[in-house]
Amino acid sequence: MPTLGIVANQAFQAIPYVINRNDASDQYGNAERNATEKRVFAVGRSDVQSWGGSGVIETLTPTDARTEDRAMTIGQRVDFSTDTAWLGQLFYPSGYAWDGPGEWYFTSAQVQMLLTSTYLLKTAGNSNVAMTVPSLVYVGSTAGSHSTPQTFPATPTGLYTTNRIESVGSYPPALGFRRTIQYGWAGVVTNALAGALKGTYTRITYSGSVSSSETQSGRTLDYTASNSKDWDTRTQHSEILAQTLPYPSNPGGEGGEILLSGPPLSWESGRTVGSIGSTRGKTERVLIYDDIIFDSEVVTYYETQNGSFSVKIGSDSLVEGVYYLENVSGDQAVMVPNTDYYLSFLADPYGLIGVGSGMGIYSQTHITLSATFPNDIDPGTVNAEVDAMVAAYQGQICYDDESTSGYYERPEGYSAFYWREKVPVSSSSSSLSWSTKDYILYDETNGVYISVESSFVGVDTSATLDV
């Protein structure tokens, strides 16, 4: 720079800009020529300086927004075809915070760089391109029905067992030989039942949308925004849906095993000691019908707002936003698991042993010898085979519930899966997604672009920002 007669003593950070002479032997001028032709300029974010004449500086206005830290500069951008620098800034009015209710403003300076007096030619500009807030206009009222999926808390839906050996016999004699294993209730199986919040609603809707195109620094920006709000009064109740609840059980619930004398010894069922599974009883519980939970009807009020906005240059998206807010008030039916229903079964764990049908039918099994089993086989061999089969069955856990007796529904009273508790509700949920693209360099002539891109996603009180 000193060689060219340019001292580069500007008071601000800048990038140099040179008006090229397009002469391979002397592209930038020299000290003698630059005494009058000041081909080097300083282009900063808010100022452009020429050393032509006695020196000239053009400044982006207003300046107080920057000195008071209320502004964000945009650029700088240079156009080599016209030797022009573009400066810009976004700022908010004095007396407001950055996120206050007032609009942000934009001003620009288009500064053409010249080799003769006046050396710099500034054209100031501004654009108030704030989107018009979409007015909420009454759309109308509607009525209908609704169903919202729910998952209720885990509640007891069946029983599992421990076991005991009720009768102990040994061979010989074969006649009347019997080993009996009984499975008594030991605890409950719980499931979080699938349900729904169903009912009717009346709704009042307001909505609005706007769109416009604005010119900013020679660019056409397309703006869109929409906003809608619903006021709902919902009369709703809770239902348990028809569903299948699996048990961790193998198929079957063998009532007994009969040992055949052979030879060799074998079991009439065709099973072996190694084929006996670790569980028995029911493999699943089927809730056949949708059941309304008794006295679960409540009235709840919902205010729901949805909106979106965007700013684009052509297909290039600069700003995209989507927001949601819902406030809920009124009453809510809370499902309280009925943990008392199986207490009477657990208090008498072997009370259903020996039933011919229904609940408890899987709770007993017998190990016997065939009616023609002789008394002259080695006792050690026979008793060892019986002991092994008894141990296999004794290791089983049995699963059962009252639906084995035909009681598929438990809608209310002491037998209900849930008791309802009405409580006042006052809650709010919200979400916001906001993405931006800010160009800090936009050089179409050379196809060079630098942008800062960000994405903000928030749900209720948590949020994530990626830049």
Residues 411, 294: contact at Cβ < 8 Å? yes
Residues 93, 105: contact at Cβ < 8 Å? yes
Residues 305, 228: contact at Cβ < 8 Å? yes
Cis amide linkage into residue 76, ω under 30° from 0: yes
Residues whose CB is less than 8 angstroms from the CB of residue 323 and which lie 6 or more positions away in sequence, other chains included = 305, 306, 307, 308, 430, 431, 432, 433
Q: Which residues pair with 59 in a beta bridge?
A: 47
Q: What is the DSSP string of 9-38?
A: --SS--EEEE-----TT-SS--TTGGGT--
Q: What is the pLDDT of residue 166?
A: 82
Hunting for tokens 């052979």 — which residue is that? 262
Q: What is the pLDDT of residue 412?
A: 78
Q: What is the DSSP letter of 413?
A: G
Q: Specify the 3-state DSSP secondary structure of 353.
A: coil
- φ/ψ (deg, to 5) at 4: -85, 0
Q: What is the pLDDT of residue 246?
A: 93
Residues 379, 385: contact at Cβ < 8 Å? no
Count of CB atoms situated within 10 Å of the CB of 116? 10
Q: What is the pLDDT of residue 3?
A: 65
Q: Specify the 3-state DSSP secondary structure of 323.
A: strand
Q: What is the pLDDT of residue 93?
A: 84
Residue of 87, 138, 159, 167 whose CA lies nearest to 347: 159
Residues 221, 313: contact at Cβ < 8 Å? yes
Taking CA atoms, 208 is separated from 136, 137, 138, 229, 302, in Å, by 5, 6, 9, 9, 19
Q: What is the pLDDT of residue 129?
A: 59
Residues 280, 254: contact at Cβ < 8 Å? yes
Label residues 290-311 b or e (16+ Cβ within 10 Å = b).
ebebeebbbebebebbbbbbbb
Residue of 52, 50, 22 whose CA lies nearest to 35: 52
Q: Where are the beta strands (DSSP E) in 128-255?
A: 137-167, 178-216, 219-240, 243-246
Per-residue model confidence as pLDDT tens for the chain (467 residues)? 666 666 778 899 999 898 887 777 777 767 777 767 788 899 999 999 998 888 899 999 999 999 999 999 987 889 988 999 999 998 988 888 877 777 788 899 999 999 888 999 999 988 765 667 778 899 999 999 999 999 999 999 999 999 888 878 889 998 889 899 999 999 999 999 999 999 999 999 999 999 988 776 677 889 999 999 999 999 999 999 999 999 987 766 677 899 999 899 999 999 999 888 889 999 999 999 999 998 899 999 999 999 999 999 989 999 999 999 999 999 999 999 999 999 999 999 999 988 889 999 999 999 999 988 999 999 999 999 999 999 999 989 999 999 999 988 887 788 899 999 999 999 999 999 999 998 878 788 888 989 999 999 999 999 999 99
Q: What is the pLDDT of residue 1?
A: 61
Q: What is the DSSP letter of 389?
A: H
Q: What is the DSSP string of 145-173?
A: EEEEEEEEEEEEEEEEEEEEEEE---SSP
| 22 φ/ψ sector (left φ>0, alpha ψ -120 to 50, else beta) | left
Long-range contacts (CB closer than 8 Å, 24 or more residues apart) made by 258-261: 258/368, 258/369, 258/370, 259/367, 259/368, 259/369, 259/370, 259/373, 259/382, 259/385, 259/386, 259/389, 260/370, 260/373, 261/369, 261/370, 261/372, 261/373, 261/374, 261/377
Taking CA atoms, 141 is separated from 226, 233, 271, 299, 305, in Å, by 19, 11, 69, 18, 16
